Each structure stands twice: as structure tokens, then as C-alpha cells.
């Protein structure tokens, strides 16, 4: 391959990495609805931790065996706690931004069914991966510039 072709391939590849990383950072900071359907085995716990904005919603329904259910806000203050239920529905509207904790503890001998949807954003761990994309893009662009200078 000619030096000119390598230059254009490296520059284009680097720019694509930078654009994808930047768009990914933007997209992961927007809360999106995610299904929380599932089941909890007998004598087991299920913990959901959606990262929510003010006004984001969680719509959850639990039925089946006997269970305890607790919702905590980002400051670990308990918003809701119910004990010894067999059927329960709740719609949570976030009043604070941050990570909420929805904990279901199945106390019975049968599995629980959980149905619903939660609006959540990406975790801070995702930010590291997105930054790696951007940094890789910068390195590849640098390699492209270096190939042109030689």
C-alpha cells in the first residue's frame, strides 16, 4: 500500500473511533426504558439498581410467593418497604438523580415473578470504555499523521 493510502485509512479510522466514543458518551447519559421482567427463586434476593434522572420512572409488579420489597433512594433513605406480600404493584417516580435500589427478598417456597420496566442510564464503568475508544482514535490519528510526515 502507498503511504498516502495508509495515511487516509488511519486518519479515517481514528476519526470514526472518536465519533463513536463521543456519541456513545452522549447516548449513555440519556435514561432509557429497560425491561425488568424475571423471576426470583425461593429464599433468594434480587437487587435492581437503575441509575435514574429526576422524573424517570420504574413500573414494577411482583407476584407469587411471600416476599419483602424495599426501595431506597441515592442517599440510601428508604422510600418504600413492604413485608409479607404475595402480590404488589408500584410506580416510582424519581425525585433525585442517582442510583436507586430495589430489593426483593423471596421468603416463600415458590418462585416470584417480577414484571415491569425501569428508565435507567449507563453505569460509570461504561464511561471508561467510551474514553478508551476516544483515546484509541486519537492514537490512530497520530499514527496516520506520523505516516504522512515520514
Residue in 120, 134, 121 with CA at minimum distance from that of residue 15: 134
Same domain, 39 and 96: yes
pTM of the full structure? 0.77
Give the Cα separation of 126 and 71 in Å (integer): 25
Q: Which domain holds residue 16?
A: 1-29+122-150
Same domain, 113 and 56: yes
In this structure, what CATH number is given to the domain that contains residue 36? 2.60.120.380
Same domain, 50 and 101: yes
Number of domains in the chain: 2
- Segment 93-142, tens digit of pLDDT: 999 999 999 999 999 999 999 999 999 988 777 888 889 999 999 999 99
- How far is CA 142 from its chain centroid? 32
Q: Residues 64-73: what's their mean pLDDT? A: 94
Please count the helices (runs of H) and the strands (runs of E) in the chain: 2, 9
Q: 10 near 147, Cβ under 8 Å?
A: yes
**What is the H or E stretch that residue 101 is in?**
strand 101-106
Q: What are phi and psi of 94, to 5 degrees?
A: -65, 130
Same domain, 79 and 51: yes
CB-count exposure of residue 37 (10 Å: 0-12, 13-18, 19+): exposed
Q: What is the pLDDT of residue 150?
A: 65
First to last CA, the chain: 15
Amino acid at each position: 500500500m502507498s503511504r498516502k493510502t495508509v495515511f487516509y485509512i488511519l486518519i479515517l479510522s481514528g476519526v470514526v473511533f472518536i465519533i463513536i466514543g463521543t456519541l456513545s458518551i452522549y447516548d449513555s447519559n440519556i435514561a432509557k426504558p429497560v425491561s425488568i421482567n424475571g423471576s426470583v427463586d425461593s429464599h433468594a434476593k434480587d437487587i435492581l439498581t437503575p441509575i435514574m434522572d429526576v422524573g424517570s420512572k420504574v413500573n414494577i409488579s411482583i407476584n407469587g410467593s411471600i416476599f419483602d420489597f424495599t426501595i431506597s433512594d441515592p442517599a440510601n433513605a428508604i422510600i418504600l418497604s413492604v413485608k409479607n406480600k404475595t402480590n404488589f404493584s408500584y410506580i416510582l417516580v424519581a425525585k433525585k438523580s442517582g442510583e436507586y435500589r430495589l430489593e426483593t427478598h423471596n421468603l416463600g417456597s415458590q418462585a416470584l415473578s417480577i414484571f415491569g420496566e425501569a428508565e435507567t442510564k449507563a453505569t460509570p464503568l461504561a464511561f471508561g470504555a467510551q474514553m478508551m475508544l476516544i483515546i484509541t482514535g486519537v492514537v490512530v490519528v497520530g499514527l496516520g499523521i506520523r505516516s504522512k510526515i515520514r
